Amino acid sequence: MPLDEYRRKRDFRKSPEPEGIPKEGRRTRKGQPPFFCVQKHLASHLHYDFRLEHEGVLLSWAVPKGPSLDPGIKRLAMHVEDHPIEYGTFEGVIPEGYGAGIVMLWDYGTWTPLVDDVDAALAKGDLKFSLDGYKLKGSWALVRTRGYGDRGGDGRSWLLIKHRDEWAGDLDIADFAPLSVKTGQDFAEILADDNPEIWRTNRPVSGGETGAMLRQIVEAAARLKAERASHSRPRKSARQPASAGSRKATGSHAARRTKKRR
Ligand code: MN
């Protein structure tokens, strides 16, 4: 079963993630392009989970630095277990266990293979495709690589690469458009919607850069929740800083994106 590894890693009594019981003979809906999404996931490390719907599941890669629109920048993408289709719109808090942290739906849309046979392309380790999301568009490739450092040769290391087209550019998309396309929220707001108290002690990660980031988010979420409870301030007060507007977002590419920015 394609979702065995996904289920083995999780305790659905403790995680809000969808269990994803596969329907018999489930396939891509006829005549509709398949779904793709990118989930920004603050867990033991911040990463971006890139998922492509194929044959009833979401093929998944964890991209530590997130997608880059610059064709010169190849981003490491670790192939991970297939996820259920229902996972594709999940956003929320995983309180403990595997993947404990905060999941934000950072982008979604449809994808189109630019190869005749997706399975053959995956087996070969070279999948070309186009994306039609809110943040990611145009032509891309996933290319299997030999791996880095000691990991070499386990077949899980791929590179996510933007092809040169009108949607390529040097805009740092992760920095320019950091928020959820589902709710417009940042990590702190997503946590405030849930329960910031769960990590007052015993956070899923405490050390290093990620631990510091999470500590700040927990504090911000607790403040937000208190504000919301008191109705003293509108909840937009804790929105992301306006720094994106001052970034070098020039050219038609950026102008097009600005309208859709979340
Ligand atoms: Mn993840």
Question: What is the distance in A from the centroid of ligand 1 to the CA of 41?
Answer: 5
Distance separating alpha carbons of residues 227 and 135, to the nearest angstrom: 31
In a domain, 258, yes or no: no
Over range 128-135, report the average pLDDT: 98
In a domain, 235, yes or no: no
Identify residues whose C-beta is under 5 A from ligand 1, the ion. Answer: 41, 49
Question: What is the distance in A from the centroid of ligand 1 to the CA of 230?
Answer: 34
Question: What is the distance in A from the centroid of ligand 1 to the CA of 48?
Answer: 7
Over range 4-26, report the average pLDDT: 80
Task: Tell me what pLDDT residue 81 has.
Answer: 96
In a domain, 33, yes or no: yes
In a domain, 50, yes or no: yes
What are the pLDDT digits (tens) for 216-258? 999 999 999 999 888 765 555 555 454 444 434 344 444 444 4
| Domain region containing 160 | 4-179
- The pLDDT confidence band at residue 259, using thresholds 50, 70 and 90, is very low
Locate 203 and state its tokens. 């956070």
Question: What is the distance in A from the centroid of ligand 1 to the CA of 231?
Answer: 34
Spell out the alpha helix ranges (H) of 38-194.
118-124, 173-176, 187-193
In a domain, 130, yes or no: yes
Question: What is the distance in A from the centroid of ligand 1 to the CA of 111?
Answer: 20
* Position 25 pLDDT exceeds 60: no
What are the pLDDT digits (tens) for 57-93? 999 999 999 999 999 999 999 999 999 999 999 999 9
Q: Please return the burial class of 66, using the count of CB atoms within 10 Å of its CB with bins 0-12, 13-18 and 19+.
A: buried
* Position 262 pLDDT exceeds 80: no
Task: Tell me what pLDDT residue 154 has.
Answer: 74
In a domain, 135, yes or no: yes
| Domain total in the chain | 1
The sign of the torsion formed by the CA atoms of 261, 102, 87, 124 equals: positive
Task: Tell me how crowded residue 52 is: count the other CB atoms within 10 A of its CB.
Answer: 22
Question: What is the distance in A from the centroid of ligand 1 to the CA of 47?
Answer: 7
In a domain, 40, yes or no: yes
Do 213 and 46 contact (CB within 8 A), yes or no? yes
**What is the reported pTM?**
0.83
In a domain, 252, yes or no: no
Task: Tell me what pLDDT residue 126 has.
Answer: 97
